Amino acid sequence: MIKEEINIFMAEFIVADLQELTSFALEALLKEDTGNSNIAHAEDKTELILLLKQRPGCIILLDYTLFDFTDVENLLIVSERFPQTLWILISDDLTDIFLRKVIYSSHRISIIFKDSPLKIIQEAIQAAISGHRYICQRATEIILDQNQKEETPTTLTPTEIEILKSIAQGKTTKDIATERFCSIHTINTHRKNIFRKLGVNTAHEAIKYAFRAGLVDTSEFYI
């Protein structure tokens, strides 16, 4: 477990999670554990930045993989723009490349996972309130694992490449599932496998990676 101390004023909270159930659960947890009912919600980056201008010393609970940050650099730029804020990233999956970039670039971003025990989530919140950065044990193990190797784009299956092309065309998961006569769950599984193999966390990052690797033709698709 990694903790690093920084200076910050007593913060308000912003929940930036597009999953309604998770957002509601986080708000309830914050109210119960901190007694603070002054909790704002952001549904996209534009709304989040507007709230940050109003609450410069806040704590943000963000699901990075579902939010509309284009890549890790975009997240870091916004975090540096508001130096009094602390961030707690709460996501399902984050790659080792992403974790290393965030951990080594910013001392104000904590990292936990959505399937972390409740105690871990509570510890991360309390650490942020105290002005500390919190990195959960699972994230620490990922970045310290010297044997973990990044898979190359050539490991994508033909089906995954076709789905990546559909993503590049701007099609939704529902659209792709309908076209391929399969379930949304199946397409979501393929998306997770594609992201894992490419070492990315968002569709935007996956498309850019695929363009650079020549898996999709830039003359046919647009970001």
Q: Record the pTM.
A: 0.65
Question: How does pLDDT run across 115-139, given as a tens digit for each residue?
Answer: 889 999 999 999 999 989 999 998 8
| DSSP secondary structure, 85-128, as one string | -EEEEEES---HHHHHHHHHH-SSEEEEETTS-HHHHHHHHHHH
Spatial distance between the Cα atoms of 31 and 46, rounded to a whole number of angstroms: 25
Question: How does pLDDT run across 74-121, given as a tens digit for each residue?
Answer: 999 999 999 999 999 998 888 888 888 898 888 999 999 988 899 999
Enumerate residue ranges in the chain where pLDDT < 50. Answer: 1-10, 146-153, 222-223
